[in-house]
Structure 1
């Protein structure tokens, strides 16, 4: 594809990509980041997101978010931010679509179990697991393992939460307690992924879009599930003033419509805050090139200072009132039991199905835990439940 895009000078340019580990023919109709997006969408891992938990387990109802619907919402927001900042929408979208590929069944509950089980072997990190999926485990191409994505997409996946280390090689704040996760020394991409630098602006747009989406939509789902009421939200940071505004303007409208008005206003205001603040940060830091972005020593796309403070207050409220609600925690406990017992059973010699059984026959014994973790991480909620019921003669049912 030969036509150039009209991008800001600090945007990621698909025509200047560092490329892929395995050489491919050029596409006559798509740029390199569009090809990455399409490969992600057509992967098995992406389809499985339909049956993976976001916050509430899938039995709650058809209108609640799954990992797939959440991912699509993140992609829409990421594109909106990228468009407003004259960035590459295609890379932002590809990274948004890939950002949850490494998540386990049952949301963060499953991830906590696998991290505990793998603690002495590098732990389990869903961003690294996403890299494993797109570079190793998605095996459908005749000429190579994985999806053979560009360097820029792989970089954005592993740095979804920012740099992993500083310039001296020390872990960043997220990893200071337990150290860097295992697997970072593997040759994932055509070139060094530079774990000590910041990711592209497109990756930063996808990351903040993730926060924007789950804040707004966890509120929506919590209200639908009856875990919250609009009245409880009136004094909560960030969302409270919006609830008051909507109730004052539409006092006779039913609560479902009021909820929608609150959620859409929350989305709009947080997105617009990010765009406005990003423009100011880019100007203040005198960002001129893609390399300037990576060496900026700061995140350039995020909430303004006031919005960040309010958003932190909202998160604290949601953590206490929603994520730790008894009805949610009861399901989390059940889910963690399923994942833990499945891991132990497969590691103790329970047969893995199909190709996984063949892989188990040829790997070294000390690599078996990672194989089991890979297998379980790829499960959907219903498949994990059915395997648990089969192996333990149980009758768990989250539907």
Structure 2
């Protein structure tokens, strides 16, 4: 008996005409036979979850480096929270939930150990060779560095998943090929020469909801972790009218509520308000743009899934508070400086003696490589490290390892 895969439905509800069609994907770089039991976007999502890169996220910094508290977010827990919000937005807008979830799950694959601190340090080391960009590194991981399949490097994801990974924050270049935010990272250009991701257009609406879900997740959860750490206080939140309003609502309904429950009640209301704001704005934009396909969404010339003007101002205020109170806090800056020192030390050590990169599959060929190629492989190796592994290796190679507490 032959399985009729379309009749299975894969648990889908009704999809809108502007949603990405799992039966009409633009395909993969290396053609594969379709699955009888999963759509192409489901297969992408499953491949992402089973990667080594996904597992490594559990020991990579979100905000607090080497935190001695079990409840701070890691890059992995942040990713799962982004995926949950992205899926909720996709369901409300009748999109392909699996594609939205897959883009959310893969969006941080390229992050280095120690968060943006590690990225900045590695970028400085790699500047003579094109620098380092975590989004481009995510693409390298899923198209080149993951070594799981007999027939190809990477995961061989669909065009739509790769487009969402690369363009979820918007187009990378203008129609004449000029980079919108500076030069487009070379790894992205190299891949597009093989499999054009149309860098001048917007991404699918599924990718757009994954991008705004990232903002919602870290705006909310960095406040939660900031309160837990003591760098933020409820009095500081009063400076932002939106948060002050939420606190009044919770206080009036639950007077005398313990601090941990009070925080959670604020945070869940913040997520709900932001999600509902995005849905409302997206619906209004869809009514005006009237896209009749996912291609129309890409060619609409605007980001459809975004905040209203009022919520965008709240988003700006929250980011400014987090930057001042947490990201630039003297204690955090001291730890960041020490973390950057670890990354720089490791880079210099591996460039001088690539054999020190134990387990790297190119290790025996690196000594004779051209300088730029060797530097990129060293960058790949360091970017793949977890916080804990980077510290462990540094302690093995150096007499003193900077304190990250």
TM-score range, shorter chain: over 0.9
Matches within 5 A, 1:60-99: 60-99=68-107
Stretch moving more, 337-346 or 113-122? 113-122
- Are 2:64 and 1:56 aligned? yes
- Are 2:399 and 1:393 aligned? yes
- Aligned-partner SS, 2:187: coil
Alignment partner for residue 209 of structure 2, among 205, 210, 213? Answer: 205
Alignment partner for residue 364 of structure 1, among 370, 374, 379? Answer: 370
Partner of 1:374: 380
Q: CA distance change for structure 1 residues 200 and 36 in 2, over 3 Å: closer, same or farther? A: same
Alignment partner for residue 158 of structure 2, among 147, 150, 156? Answer: 150
Q: What is the distance in 1 between the residues matched to 2:189 and 2:279?
A: 35
Q: What is the distance in 1 between the residues matched to 2:47 and 2:365?
A: 24
Runs (4+) of structure 1 exceeding 6 A deviation are none
Q: What is the distance in 2 between the residues matched to 1:23 and 1:360?
A: 31
Partner of 1:47: 55
Q: CA distance change for structure 1 residues 271 and 359 in 2, over 3 Å: closer, same or farther? A: farther
CA deviations 1:272-296 (Å, max 9, x no partner) are 1000110001111222211111111
Contact 1:389 1:396 in 2 (8 A): no
Contact 1:137 1:145 in 2 (8 A): yes
How well do the aligned residues superpose, as a CA RMSD in angstroms?
1.6
Q: What is the distance in 2 between the residues matched to 1:39 and 1:171?
A: 31
For structure 1, the 5+ residue unaligned runs are: none
Q: Work out the number of aligned pairs and report it.
A: 395
CA deviations 1:268-319 (Å, max 9, x no partner) are 0000100011000111122221111111111000111111011111111111
For structure 2, the 5+ residue unaligned runs are: none
- Are 2:281 and 1:247 aligned? no
- Are 2:333 and 1:329 aligned? yes
Q: What is the distance in 2 between the residues matched to 1:13 and 1:364?
A: 43
Contact 2:79 2:108 in 1 (8 A): yes
Q: What is the distance in 2 between the residues matched to 1:330 and 1:76?
A: 33
Alignment partner for residue 317 of structure 1, among 293, 318, 321? Answer: 321
CA deviations 1:115-150 (Å, max 9, x no partner) are 111122221111110000000000111111101100
**TM-score, L = length of structure 2:** 0.94
Q: What is the distance in 1 between the residues matched to 2:292 and 2:247?
A: 40
Partner of 1:215: 219
Alignment partner for residue 107 of structure 1, among 101, 115, 139? Answer: 115
Partner of 2:294: 290
Q: CA distance change for structure 1 residues 156 and 359 in 2, over 3 Å: closer, same or farther? A: farther
Q: What is the distance in 1 between the residues matched to 2:216 and 2:80?
A: 13
Contact 1:133 1:146 in 2 (8 A): yes
Task: Give the C-alpha shift of residue 359 in structure 1.
Answer: 4.5
CA deviations 1:173-231 (Å, max 9, x no partner) are x32xxx32222331358731001000000000000000000000000000011111112
Alignment partner for residue 275 of structure 1, among 261, 276, 279? Answer: 279
- Are 2:166 and 1:162 aligned? no
Matches within 5 A, 1:182-193: 182-187=186-191, 191-193=195-197
Task: Give the C-alpha shift of residue 21 in structure 1.
Answer: 1.2
Q: CA distance change for structure 1 residues 150 and 162 in 2, over 3 Å: closer, same or farther? A: same
Q: What is the distance in 2 between the residues matched to 1:136 and 1:397?
A: 34
- Aligned-partner SS, 2:316: helix
